[in-house]
Structure 1
Amino acid sequence: MTTRRTLLQAGLLGAGLTQVPALTASASPGTTVSGQAPDVNDPRFTLAVIPDTQYLFDQDRGDSAPLVATMKYLIENRRSENIVFTAHLGDVVENALASEFAQADPVFRLLDNHRAPYSVLAGNHDIDSRTDDRRGDSPYLRTFGPRRFRRMTTYGGSSPGGYNSFHVFTGGGRQWLLLAMDWRPSDQGFAWARKVIADHPRLPVILTTHDLVYADAGPAELSEHGKRIWAELVDGNDQIFLTLNGHYWPSGRLTRRNAAGHDVHLHITNYQDRYYGGGGMVRLYHFDLARNVIDVETISPWVLGQPVGRRTALEQGEIELTDDVNRFSVPIDFEQRFSGFAPVPARPARPAARLVVPGTVAYWRFDGSASDRVVDHSGRGNHLTPVLLSSDGGPVASSEHHPDQPGHGSWLFRGGKRPARGGYLRTADNAPLNRLAFEGGYTIEAFVKLADGDHAWQGLLSRMGTGANAGKTGGDPAEPVVNLGFSGGLQAQWAVFPADRNDIWTNWSHELRANEWFHLAVVNDGRVSTMYVDSSPVLRNPATRSNGLSTTGEHWLLGANHYDRVVEQGFAGWIGDVRLVDRPLSPREFLTA
């Protein structure tokens, strides 16, 4: 398959051009190309945007090869770039002639033949620019009207005159509505668009049109027609978060607040003023729903496809545009931005009994008021009672919780050191948990949010008793036999004396952040221990075999640890559900599942 890397290494999409040819054999629309379908559930997906191609279809002066190269690139990289949709921004041709549309038609048919969905809209060069979307028949409408799109799975419909259309495509596991609006929508056209949005009340909307924003004299701003589009359609429809237009050059971008007080990103992209009519440049909007960002890049597959040794100086300069209006990132908290019309429902609380899986030896929840006892929902009787380290108060109940936590609550531990402050919880002296050596493996899980401050060597979960008390002489025998805690660099540390070893075995996480909830888990399968943060294994997990946990038969501590049997500080932060299981669990069995 042709990829960006191979394109850079050798010319695969077209011949180097020293004069303007007709369609070359290497760029023929009839050439077979391959391309796997995109993964519409991947949180990383791409919207491809093609601006004004009019000079490529200008009577007998044009050349289809650059746009053919772009179409082939989009097809061949549908999977590698996860391209779920392509939008053309109008001015397909220069003179609105039927003969020009006859040249453009087979190029777009490349996408049709590979069932790659796309939209097209009319620019001022595609129709009689003095008319609006009620203009009636035209060569544009006969080529790119509703009949062309009816077989596309994304096509939702067109306005009565056929010049405005909408598509619903899927990317990142959710649906997106794309409006393709005419050069000059009529009042009826705007009413149609508002109704389309109203009929899809939970979908985020991308508006494509030809004339909206320009950047001729510096910072981008709304054009005169753009002011009408803003007033008639964008400002009052919070679902529209991104607009894309061509027509003007140079490229630019603008962010405006709508009536709901939310940002709308308005981008102009057009390269017809550049060498070879823009060389079929395409802008790739890489959405990343996990990272809450849209990364934008602009490339010319046609130039990339030229043999390196045959590229002219002008062609070399058009391979990729890297200035800040053509290569940039747009940070968007998608969940927050769309919450006004498509709120993500909070995961409901789950009854404790459903989480007591076979092998559960302790399950503590903090979704009620702070009290003198925390119940062990495992039924094993490993209840917790509070211990105060200072007079300034022990843990207090909080409604804060990790979004995937079964119990909707936590306790805020207000600990510190020098002197020890706050409080912690402990099992009773006769709790069954105290004696367990976990020789068949174990899983320990906790939901945690660290408070600001110094967390150096504070404990989250520990076991009273030192290595020396358990007969261990390796490492530092004054360390606790079991400790899940944190370093000064906010790295989680699982430091234990295994039952079958004479030394401390330690797992380390990467650096974590204060004031953010995370799920922490340690799993031992009877041979090795693996630490997970948010269900992802960390790097620094020891490969050396270890089994079980040493015990002196004494109590467990939650919200503290000890050194040489002295509790030197309390935990500072929030603790949610905590579960201990006497066997290894897979991530799909964690409390977050």
Structure 2
Amino acid sequence: MCTSDEPGHEHAQEAPQAGAGRRNFLRATALIGAAAAVALPAATARAAPAAAPAAGWRPDPRSRRFTLAVMPDTQYLFDGPSIDRAPVEASLRYLLEHGREENIVFLSHLGDLTQNGAREECAAIGEAFRLLDRRGVGYSVLAGNHDVRSSTDDQRGPTPYLDVFGPDRFQGGPAFGGASPDGYNSFHLFRAAGREWMVLALDWRLSAKGFDWARKIMAEHPRTPVVLTTHELVDEDDSLSSYGQKLWDQLIEDHDQIFLTLNGHYWPAARATRKNAAGNEVHLHLTNYQNRYFGGAAMIRLYRFDLDRNVIDVETISPWILGRAAKGLGELERQEMELSGDADRFSVEIDFEDRFSGFAPVPARPSRPVSKMLVPGTVAYWRFDGHEGEGAGAAVTGTVRDVSGRGNDLSLVTVGSGGLSWSSDHHPDQPGHGSLEFQGHKSPLKGAYLRTVDGAPLNSATFEDGYTIEAFYRLPADWDPAHHAWSGLVGRTGTGGAAGKTADDPDEPLATLSLSNDREPQWAVRPLNQEGIATNWGHQTPLETWWHLAVVNDGEHTTLYVEGCPVVRNPKAATVGLTSVGLPWLLGGYEYAGQIDQILHGRLGDVRIVERALPVTSFMNH
């Protein structure tokens, strides 16, 4: 982008045009710096196809963390006799050097690669990008108004830009999907986080044919999320240019696949958000630094996607300046190494699964049959599905069967008012698609809970060789520690005093997996080898979210897991088995001094007890 009478807006120079059949490249005498160059014979002019991926460039297609790199306007580095490839090459080398640790999957250039679109300028930056070609790195470029005649659209015909960055250059590359017949628009596909993603790289100005082509490409990939790149779209914070509005009206608004757009052209950097026709947010970002020191010094944006945290963390750096920091920098250079303003370093929160559900819904995990969950050593398995015919919220009556076949059935106990009902709600990775809804309350004590029947084999089990106890739970929005804290999910009755173990509080039960006043899961037990209580503590678990807990004892030590991850407060002391006085186990209840003291307020999903230590990969949520 060049200077003009209006700050932040540009008037394009008409670039000289060249035929498609013949052109010259500039080849630098060294990888750093391009001021000294020699012309290549015309016979070498045709851009070589992209190389196959080389050793060392292996983005992980399964990792849920990956990085999309973005390079905006580099035109001042490629301006007639003032050609300097070093900053661009430094940025490209940075991507190569950090590709594995950052899991960099793709680079998008946003146009205005050159100042005048001249043959020598295009050739010089084309040579710089051979650093990526030689390593088989996926990338896209597009024409800005300085790379072609700004008065033309994508039907303009041959140009030096197209000679260097036309479809021939990308054929056979790792991400190249194809180009429009005119060669100025392209799409690129890469795999990350276990799915396909698209970068749709569009010309400075789309013709009617260009719009039709873009729509056709997305229609051919209807389940693929799309990052749209173009040279002009956002012109300042929360504002689109007139052409940007045309792109929105004719392409972006009606294509829910487009969730992020990236453009350059204007400055300073800015952001906008719009809701599309499906009611979903589209994030539109302007990134351009050519107005800053050294024409922007080939700064790059790193868009770090994290699908577990549902966020894109964005950082802006100049590898060229960073690479020279050890040699000493001037004050201006030090200010430009990294940009930390609100428009340059920020995070975008996106619930990716929800955002993409309109065009690529994630199928719900089907329920798994009981037989698949009866791993060797299963002594009790309670699940609460199969009650759809009784209606939502139907009351639990009678006996809840132990589907393991080991005879550890559950009977209902009601205290005061309040009840126990069936629910179809469940953890997304729970084998059974149902749960129990408990409505416990303390002061006054009321609700309903379950206990194993008298004589159940589980009542006398001591698990000397180890155990695994698993449960799914969800607490509602109205959960209140004053009325609901320290309710048990699963545990056994009988007190330490009754078992002759009087260390610590003798009135505490022999085992309980409970939730503290801060909603921390706690496993508190009297092992066979201890007089006192051994305790494992988890962290605070938010409301209105399903959680999976697993308590695993390998015969020597006990570990509490939350969603398959071990918690920090797992005791190092040896803990062997579980003390028993032959009394029942409880689901949804907690006893103190042999009396029911608290009842769960929330939902409880599948519960399984196995008489051995299970690996995480065998937990019910796997």
TM-score by length of 1: 0.93
Measured after TM superposition, the shift of residue 513 of structure 1 is: 1.4
Counterpart of 2:223 in 1: which secondary structure? coil
The answer to whether residue 521 in structure 2 is matched with residue 492 in structure 1 is: yes
Q: Is the 8 A contact 1:463 1:555 kept in 2?
A: yes
The answer to whether residue 181 in structure 2 is matched with residue 160 in structure 1 is: yes
Q: 1:119 aligns with which of 115, 128, 140?
A: 140
Counterpart of 2:336 in 1: which secondary structure? coil
- What residue identity is the alignment partner of 2:415? L
2:470 is matched with 445
1:515 is matched with 544
- What residue identity is the alignment partner of 1:172? A
2:192 is matched with 171
- Structure 1, 574-583 or 149-158: larger mean CA deviation: 149-158
The answer to whether residue 561 in structure 2 is matched with residue 532 in structure 1 is: yes
Q: Is the 8 A contact 1:389 1:422 kept in 2?
A: yes
2:207 is matched with 186
- Structure 1, 68-77 or 362-371: larger mean CA deviation: 362-371
CA distance in 2, matches of 1:547, 1:28: 69
1:3 is matched with none
Counterpart of 1:461 in 2: which secondary structure? strand
Measured after TM superposition, the shift of residue 456 of structure 1 is: 2.3
CA distance in 1, matches of 2:583, 2:377: 21
- What residue identity is the alignment partner of 2:301? R
CA distance in 2, matches of 1:371, 1:323: 61
The answer to whether residue 372 in structure 2 is matched with residue 372 in structure 1 is: no
Counterpart of 1:286 in 2: which secondary structure? strand
Following superposition, which runs of at least 4 residues in structure 1 exceed 4 angstroms of deviation?
22-26, 33-36
CA distance in 1, matches of 2:450, 2:223: 45
Measured after TM superposition, the shift of residue 521 of structure 1 is: 0.5
- Structure 1, 172-181 or 190-199: larger mean CA deviation: 172-181
Residues 473-529 of structure 1 show CA distances to partners (whole Å, capped at 9, x for unaligned) of 211111111111011111111111101221111100011112110000100000000
Residues 292-327 of structure 1 show CA distances to partners (whole Å, capped at 9, x for unaligned) of 011111000011011445311111110111111111
The answer to whether residue 411 in structure 2 is matched with residue 385 in structure 1 is: yes
Measured after TM superposition, the shift of residue 25 of structure 1 is: 5.0
1:554 is matched with 583
CA distance in 2, matches of 1:28, 1:353: 67
Q: Is the 8 A contact 1:23 1:63 kept in 2?
A: no
Residues 8-58 of structure 1 show CA distances to partners (whole Å, capped at 9, x for unaligned) of xxxxxxxxxxxxxx97957269xxx99542222111100000000011111
1:6 is matched with none
- What residue identity is the alignment partner of 1:393? G
Aligned-residue Cα RMSD (Å) equals 1.5
1:27 is matched with 32
- What residue identity is the alignment partner of 2:517? G
Q: Is the 8 A contact 1:412 1:575 kept in 2?
A: yes
- What residue identity is the alignment partner of 2:110? L
1:17 is matched with none
Q: Is the 8 A contact 2:488 2:512 kept in 1?
A: yes
Residues 62-97 of structure 1 show CA distances to partners (whole Å, capped at 9, x for unaligned) of 311111100100110001111100000001111111
Distance 1:124 1:118, change over 3 A: same
CA distance in 1, matches of 2:550, 2:540: 15
Q: 2:240 aligns with which of 208, 212, 222?
A: 222
Distance 1:279 1:34, change over 3 A: farther
Q: Is the 8 A contact 2:108 2:141 kept in 1?
A: yes
- Structure 1, 129-138 or 300-309: larger mean CA deviation: 300-309
Q: 1:286 aligns with which of 296, 300, 304?
A: 304
Unaligned runs of 5+ in 2: 1-26, 35-53, 388-395
CA distance in 2, matches of 1:460, 1:160: 63
Q: Is the 8 A contact 2:83 2:124 kept in 1?
A: no
Residues 212-255 of structure 1 show CA distances to partners (whole Å, capped at 9, x for unaligned) of 1101xxx3311111111111110111111111011111110000
Distance 1:43 1:194, change over 3 A: same
Q: Is the 8 A contact 1:70 1:280 kept in 2?
A: yes
Counterpart of 1:510 in 2: which secondary structure? coil
- What residue identity is the alignment partner of 1:559? G
Identity %: 56
- What residue identity is the alignment partner of 1:448? Y
Measured after TM superposition, the shift of residue 121 of structure 1 is: 0.3
Q: 1:241 aligns with which of 237, 250, 259?
A: 259
1:48 is matched with 69
- What residue identity is the alignment partner of 2:218? I
Q: 1:264 aligns with which of 282, 299, 307?
A: 282
Alignment of 1:392-431 (within 5 A): 392-431=417-456
1:586 is matched with 615
2:295 is matched with 277
Counterpart of 2:82 in 1: which secondary structure? coil
Q: Is the 8 A contact 1:368 1:397 kept in 2?
A: no
Residues 88-134 of structure 1 show CA distances to partners (whole Å, capped at 9, x for unaligned) of 00011111111111211111000111111100000011111111111
- Structure 1, 198-207 or 506-515: larger mean CA deviation: 506-515
1:89 is matched with 110
Counterpart of 1:495 in 2: which secondary structure? strand
TM-score by length of 2: 0.89
2:125 is matched with 104
Q: Is the 8 A contact 2:57 2:135 kept in 1?
A: no
